[in-house]
Amino acid sequence: MGKSLLKDVYRDSLSLLTDLYEITMAYAYWKDGLQDREAVFQLFFRKFPFGGAYAIAAGMQTAIEYIENFAFARDDLEYLTELKNPAGGPLFEIEFIEFLRDLKMEVDVDAMEEGTPVFPYEPIIRVKGPIICAQILESALLNILNFQTLIATKASRVCRAAGGDHVVEFGLRRAQGIDGAISASRASFIGGCHSSSNVLAGKLFGIPVMGTHAHSFIMACDSEKEAFRSFAKFLPENCIFLIDTYDTLKGTERAIEVAKEEKIKLIAVRLDSGDLQDLSNAVRKMLDDAGLFDTKIMATNELTEQLIADLKAQGAKISIWGVGTNLVTAKDQPALDGVYKLSAVQGADKEWKYRLKISEQVIKTTNPGISQVRRYFDDKGYVADMLYDENKGPGDVIFHHTEQGVKREVKKNWRHKDLLVPMLKKGRGVYPFPSLEQMRAHTYQELDKFPTGMRRFNNPQPYFTGIEKNLFDLKLHMIEELS
């Protein structure tokens, strides 16, 4: 399954990977004697990324590892002790610092399995436990899950556009820092990529790595042909020649000559500039005329899912796609709007009291309760998702999340599965994470069970998701009371 991301890369404590207001709220809970009161928080997003109709849940294993290993180190506590309030006094009293020293994240976590398609308002992860613990986890969980879910979704779109061709994640040099590169490689593989250029990601996660050479290698040699010959001599089983340093078609000629002279198997030639459709067809003809029918053509020029789909539709002879900047930075939408909201809290009587946030914007009104997501399916595939409250149970009618009056009845022939599965109980792991390869397979298998129209890039057909009737009625009642 590969090594641990947090333990093997970030060896120091990450307890301060948080916004200050999480700790100031924790301090206020502690001062008020509420630190042990049970609460439920749910992490979800509101808008589809990339103008599509789904997202791919990712980052759960990283998030669970973060919670399991959470602890304030000595130097963390020393730093918090030194913080001052605006009046110049200590921000936190020493008794609170001592409380944090012994704090354990004894929370229950239920989450979607990585590679699961997910839709707006559906909890990707649900945290239940002492409110002070669940609150402190907010910022880190949003950081981990928002980014990996975003990149896994982008990778899924890219791989769908490639139609089964090999897709290499090529984004290390353009990623947003070290973790932006490592987490993006992980999420890209879950989303569907076949390999990565990132060697550290290969070591950590067991992702297949793939690489060629750069223009600098060609330029460092006396001639392009000499560069190809040198590469073939020392890496005869790993020859993918970059052919557009000077002139693409002449570069192709030289690559063919070296392949024949050195008697190597030329795996592929790579195009990194120019009109990829015209050039790939011309290069393909040259390779075929030379009898190199098995040599593939790789492209790596600022690719997006839309460009890949267009090139394939135009008959480009490309079968390996190296996608970098636009994938690992999610360049057209660099953030998922995931939020982490309180949905229930226990009163002094230990009874659950449901909570929601209301807004003049319907999209920003949250759902109360202890949510579970039920996915319904028939013999043809998935048909609808229902958000329901675990204490009230599922019903027979689903009301659309945002379209007033739109509803769907649950049919008798529908079968179902619940998507939030237990991963932590009182802070201890209860879920055996599959390999990254299994997560990747899960992405492909699950997406194939949805209507084809939902996976379109342009004007995708929305999949029906909504709230169970009793929970919907409770939400309306609570909104009326709060208003």
* Residue that is written with structure tokens 């659309």 in the block: 400
Q: Tell me: domain 152-328, CATH 1.10.760.10, correct?
A: no
Report the DSSP beta bridge partners of residue 298.
270, 320
Instruction: Specify the higher pLDDT residue, 8 or 167.
Output: 167
CATH of domain 5-150+334-482: 3.20.140.10
Residue 103 tokens, joined: 């704090």
Q: Strand 108-111 vs strand 38-44: parallel, antiparallel, or unpaired?
A: unpaired
User: Percentage of the chain with pLDDT > 70?
Assistant: 99
Dist CA 307 CA 320 (whole Å): 14
Within a 13 Å sphere around the CA of 424, how many CA atoms are in the beta-carbon half?
25
The domain spans of the chain are: 5-150+334-482, 152-328
Sheet containing 465-468: give its strands across: 407-409, 397-400, 465-468, 381-389, 371-378, 415-418
Please state the rounded mean pLDDT for residues 318-325. Answer: 97
The pLDDT-based confidence of 404 (bands split at 50, 70, 90) is: confident
Instruction: Specify the higher pLDDT residue, 280 or 402.
Output: 280
The pLDDT-based confidence of 2 (bands split at 50, 70, 90) is: low
Please state the rounded mean pLDDT for residues 125-143. Answer: 98
Residue 55 tokens, joined: 């997202």
Dist CA 430 CA 438 (whole Å): 18
**What pTM was estimated for this model as a whole?**
0.96
- pLDDT of 224 > 80? The answer is yes
- pLDDT of 16 > 50? The answer is yes
**3-state helix/strand/coil string of the chain:** CCCCHHHHHCCCCCCCCCCHHHHHHHHHHHHCCCCCCEEEEEEECCCCHHHCCCEECCCHHHHHHHHHCCCCCHHHHHHHHHCECCCCCECCCHHHHHHHHCCCCCCEEEECCCCCEECCCCCCEEEEEEHHHHHHCHHHHHHHHHHHHHHHHHHHHHHHHHCCCEEEECCHHHCCHHHHHHHHHHHHHHHCCCEECCHHHHHHHCCCECCCCCHHHHHHCCCHHHHHHHHHHHCCCCCEEECCCCCHHHHHHHHHHHHHHHCCCCCEEEECCCCHHHHHHHHHHHHHHCCCCCCEEEECCCCCHHHHHHHHHCCCCCCEEEECHHHHCCCCCCCCCCEEEEEEEECCCCCEEECCCCCCCHHHCCCCCCEEEEEEEECCEEEEEEEEECCCCCCCEEEECCCCCCEEECCCCCEEEECCEEEEECCEECCCCCCHHHHHHHHHHHHCCCCHHHHCCCCCCCCCEEEEHHHHHHHHHHHHHHC
- pLDDT of 227 > 50? The answer is yes
59: exposed, middle or buried (Cβ count in 10 Å: 0-12, 13-18, 19+): buried
User: Percentage of the chain with pLDDT > 90?
Assistant: 93
The pLDDT score that the predictor gives to residue 262 is: 95
Mean pLDDT of the chain: 95
- Residues 389 and 473: beta-carbon distance below 8 Å: no
- Residues 420 and 432: beta-carbon distance below 8 Å: no
> pLDDT for 275-285, tens place per residue?
999 999 999 99
The pLDDT score that the predictor gives to residue 1 is: 46
